[in-house]
A and B are shown apart, each in its own frame.
Chain A
Amino acid sequence: MPAFALVDANNFYCSCERAFDPALQGLPVIVLSNNDGCVISRSEEAKELGVAMGAPWFQIEQGPDAASIRQFSSNYALYGDMSRRILEVLRRWSWKVEPYSIDEMFLDLSGFGGDLVARGHAIRRDVLRETKIPTCVGIGPSKTIAKLANHLAKQRPEYAGVCDLTDPEARAVVYPSLPVGEIWGVAGATGRRLARMGIQTVDQLAALDMRQARDAFTVIGQRLVMELRGTSCLPLNMLAPQRKGVAVTRSFSHAVTDWREMSEAVATYATRATEKLRRHGLVAAGMTVFMRTNRYNGDPSYRGQVSYEIEPTQDCLILIGEALRGARSLWRPSYRYFKAGVMLHDLSPVGRMPASMFPTRDPRASARIMTALDAVNARFGRDTLRPAVTGIAREWATKAEYRSPRYTTRIDEIMKAVAI
């Protein structure tokens, strides 16, 4: 019988912050979205204080608990690297690991036999020791059951972090107490439809007649019922889907009204997007640039977007030019711009695309310069060397006032220990 485990990090971003500062243990910790906008991760203590997911920071900042709360800007360089470390630890337990999201990994434990619960505890212990990140483990004969089991492991302390629903009897005990909304992939609309059919709990859905499931929810619903009954239909997916496009979009720290700031931002996003292209050995044949005002704050509304063909290249200087061409065509003075973005699409591996017949720049010189640029930035940190059009002061740049050090990716930001 197949066996899957879902390892899910508890309050992942907050736990990453605590990993390098254990003094945060026991304190209400929150992590804020880009631009320090709103809460995207909360420690248990913050949840107990009543801090809601998505709550705006400016409200919390002025609220009664501001003094006790420790807030952090999101530090994705750190979170991404910690996610990588978790996956590396898990690979010691099974070479089949699917990184489903930044903090959720599926493991294929089929054929290992033995005590899966003990294995789950050992996995948690390893991850905690090596990454300092607490996790919960859900185990089951299908990914859907593993995900439900994980939910129980998180919610119910009696499981001590590991819940195994391999045994049909164990499922029969818990299914009636679980609302269908807890099932992976059963979002709002499906849940409401199930409710209309009189299906409220997981046991009712698992007992649904196959034909009925198919009629009401297509083959996907049928598969869901099968998965809930313990027949695995969703295999582990270890290959990341082919990149469809590269997007770099950010909201500004303040409303941008000045073309210089807008052009710096767009040039910066184009530079970032080109970095991603080079990292994946791709070129793009198309580009989309957009800029917009904030539709919620009463500012006059403007949403401009333009897509066009571009020279397939990995040269950021060329792509900055292409992006600014689009941005200039969109720019209307007098608006208060809130967000802009650069998207690259029609990607293909470098070399697969016919080279441009009239390249803007000598391709050999261009490749050398980009290699040098990447080498310098890899060694001395991102943006050490960058085109001047991307701006020097960058007042528009995303605010990250409370970001912790990038402990694991920057040599000048590593942890410090005082010799005693």
Chain B
Amino acid sequence: MDAGELPLAYTGGETTGFQSPASDYIEQGIDLSDVLDLDKPGVYLVRASGQALAARGIFEGDVLVADTAAPPRAGGVAIAFVDGECVLATLAYREGAWHLLSADGGRAPRPLGEGAAIWAMAAALVRTEV
């Protein structure tokens, strides 16, 4: 090895003695950034807090993959700003208007509009501790 050179990346095909039978079949490892579309310009990461959406499988500390390009979807989870507060709420379409629902019924359904707007839709979820 030349001075200053780092070992070559080995992907399962670059053998030195016997040719690897896999060399024509090497594929890239799975890149979660690709799977989750993290490179899209409208995708952001948002940390969930609180347990109100635990029944939907969203727990305190989870990282949501938020897509600002995604259209609102009934039953989807929205990252929204309500009176300046950033909330995570289920979206519903009722009587001709989108509403943010509170899962534990602690708050009345909030129609979008004055003081309430969707910031992004949750597209996926990452939990680093299981």
Contact = CB atoms under 8 A, between A and B. Distances in A.
Interface of A: 22-23, 84-86, 88-89, 129-132, 355, 362-364, 366-368, 371, 407-408, 411, 414-420
Contacts of A367: 4-6
Contacts of B89: 419-420
Interface in B50-86: 50-54, 58, 63-64, 66, 68-69, 79, 81, 84-86
Contacts of A362: 3
Given A363-B3, A364-B4, A414-B45, A420 B68 contact: no
Interface of B: 1, 3-6, 40-42, 44-54, 58, 63-64, 66, 68-69, 79, 81, 84-89, 100, 102-104, 106-107, 117, 119
B41 A414 contact: no
B45 A411 contact: yes
Among A84, A129, A364, A418, the most chain B Cβ lie within 10 Å of the Cβ of: A418
Contacts of A416: 46-49, 86
A22 B119 contact: yes
A129 B50 contact: no
A415 B50 contact: no
A129 B40 CA distance: 13
A69 B15 CA distance: 64
Given A129-B42, A420-B102, A22 B88 contact: no
A23 B87 CA distance: 13
Contact of A130 (B3, B41, B103): B41
A130 B48 contact: no
> Ordered nearest first, which 7 A-B pairs have the shortest CB separation?
A130-B42, A23-B84, A88-B41, A363-B4, A85-B41, A419-B52, A419-B53
B42 A85 contact: yes
A414 B63 contact: yes
Contacts of A408: 44-45
A371 B119 contact: no
B51 A419 contact: yes
A416 B50 CA distance: 10
8 contacts: A22-B117, A132-B68, A132-B119, A362-B3, A415-B66, A418-B88, A419-B54, A420-B100
A22 B117 CA distance: 9
A364 B5 contact: yes
Contacts of B49: 416-419
A314 to B, nearest CB: 10
A85 B43 CA distance: 9
A353 to B, nearest CB: 11
Contacts of B3: 355, 362-364
A291 B69 CA distance: 48
B103 A420 contact: yes
B1 to A, nearest CB: 8
B86 A415 contact: yes
Contact of A420 (B41, B54, B64, B106): B106
A271 B53 CA distance: 45
A278 to B, nearest CB: 13
Given A86-B41, A130-B41, A131-B41, A420 B88 contact: yes
Nearest to A351: B4
Given A355-B3, A368-B6, A414-B63, A419 B44 contact: no
A414 B86 contact: no
